[in-house]
């Protein structure tokens, strides 16, 4: 085992620990935070089933973004849908045998890789070119887009220019999962791709990317419009009322 293989093995264990523990702690925090007000964005569903459907539409179609800005929706949805398929395609590096539905999406490789890059480029152009968006953009907004673009770029470069031994890459990651370490191919573009991915995993729980679990905890989206049927009272407000 080369020093680089050991470095990447340790890096991915650390990155996975930060990602999983970080998200778990954030989600626990979100779940404990009471919503002080009844504040669903109206028109809103009046039942819990309706709320579930509304959230599902938000997750799958980005419904409220579509109503807000069609251009942002086009690039945002393209990026996320492509990312999903890119990640599903990558499952082949972590499973043996490869699941049949993962095999099914493999031919979409080039399409979704470019879909991801075009979506990200559009979102970056929006931050730079639309004056009122540029005004509210902070360095981390650019950093996340740049990081994701660099991951897509290095992945594409590996696929088409600096090819690596993907069978050995798979053996390395299966080895990590089974605690039976295997060597990683010594290819600089692979090192770059993996280092960027590890960086993404580590910053995720501290970044705006928390909107992924956060969406489900957004009171304006997850509340039913039923304040006439049942009075909304946050636990701390109930305590206050009882004079505690």
Indicate the residue whose CB is closest to ligand HEM. 155
Q: Contact, 48 vs 40, CB < 8 A?
A: no
Q: What would the DSSP string read from start to end of 163-203?
A: ---HHHHHHHHHHHHTT---PPP--HHHHHHHHHHHHHHHH
The answer to whether residue 171 forms part of the interface with ligand HEM (CB under 6 A) is no
Which of 173, 176, 184, 224 touches ligand HEM by CB under 6 A? 173
Q: Which stretch binds ligand HEM (CB under 6 A): 58-66, 87-95, 174-182, 210-218?
A: 87-95
| 116 binds ligand HEM per the rule CB under 6 A | yes
CA 185 to chain centre: 27
Judged by CB under 6 A, does residue 166 bind ligand HEM? yes
Binding to ligand HEM by residue 44, rule CB under 6 A?
A: no
HSE-up of residue 47 (Cα within 13 Å, Cβ side): 3
Out of 123, 152, 176, 202, name the contact with ligand HEM by CB under 6 A. Answer: 152
- Shortest gap between Cβ of 117 and ligand HEM (angstroms)? 7
**Does the CA dihedral 184-188-191-193 come out positive or negative?**
negative
End-to-end Cα separation, the chain, in angstroms:
62
Helix (H, G, I), strand (E, B) or coil at 43: coil
- By CB under 6 A, name the one of 159, 208, 221, 232 that touches ligand HEM: 159
Range 89-108, binding ligand HEM (CB under 6 A): 89-90, 93
CA-based nearest residue to 76, from 212, 239, 200: 212
Tell me how far apart the alpha carbons of residues 202 and 15 are, in angstroms, rounded to a whole number. 5
109 or 122, CB closer to ligand HEM? Answer: 109
Nearer to ligand HEM, 164 or 223 (CB): 164
DSSP secondary structure string for all residues of 212-233: HHHGGG-HHHH--S-TTTS---
Q: Which of 9, 158, 203, 224 binds ligand HEM (CB under 6 A)?
A: 158
Residues near ligand HEM (CB under 6 A) are 83, 86, 89-90, 93, 109, 113, 116, 148, 151-152, 155-156, 158-159, 163-164, 166, 169, 173, 193, 197
């Amino acid at each position: 085992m080369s020093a680089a293989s050991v470095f990447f093995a340790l890096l991915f264990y650390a990155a996975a620990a930060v990602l999983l523990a970080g998200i778990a702690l954030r989600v626990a925090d979100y779940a404990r935070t009471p919503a002080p007000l009844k504040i669903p964005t109206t028109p809103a569903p009046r039942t819990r089933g309706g709320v579930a459907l509304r959230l599902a539409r938000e997750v799958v179609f980005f419904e409220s973004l579509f109503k807000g800005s069609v251009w942002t929706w086009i690039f945002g949805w393209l990026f996320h849908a492509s990312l999903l398929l890119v990640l599903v395609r990558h499952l082949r590096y972590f499973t043996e045998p490869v699941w049949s539905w993962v095999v099914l999406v493999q031919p979409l490789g080039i399409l979704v890789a470019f879909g991801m890059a075009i979506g990200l480029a559009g979102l970056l152009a929006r931050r730079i070119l639309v004056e009122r968006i540029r005004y509210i953009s902070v360095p981390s907004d650019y950093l996340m887009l740049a990081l994701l673009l660099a991951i897509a770029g290095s992945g594409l470069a590996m696929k088409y220019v600096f090819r690596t031994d993907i069978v050995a890459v798979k053996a390395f990651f299966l080895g990590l999962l089974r605690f039976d370490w295997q060597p990683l191919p010594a290819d600089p573009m692979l090192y770059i791709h993996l280092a960027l991915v590890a960086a993404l995993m580590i910053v995720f729980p501290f970044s705006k990317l928390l909107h992924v679990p956060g969406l489900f905890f957004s009171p304006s989206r997850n509340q039913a419009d039923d304040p006439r049927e049942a009075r909304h009272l946050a636990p701390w407000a109930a305590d206050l009322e009882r004079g505690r």
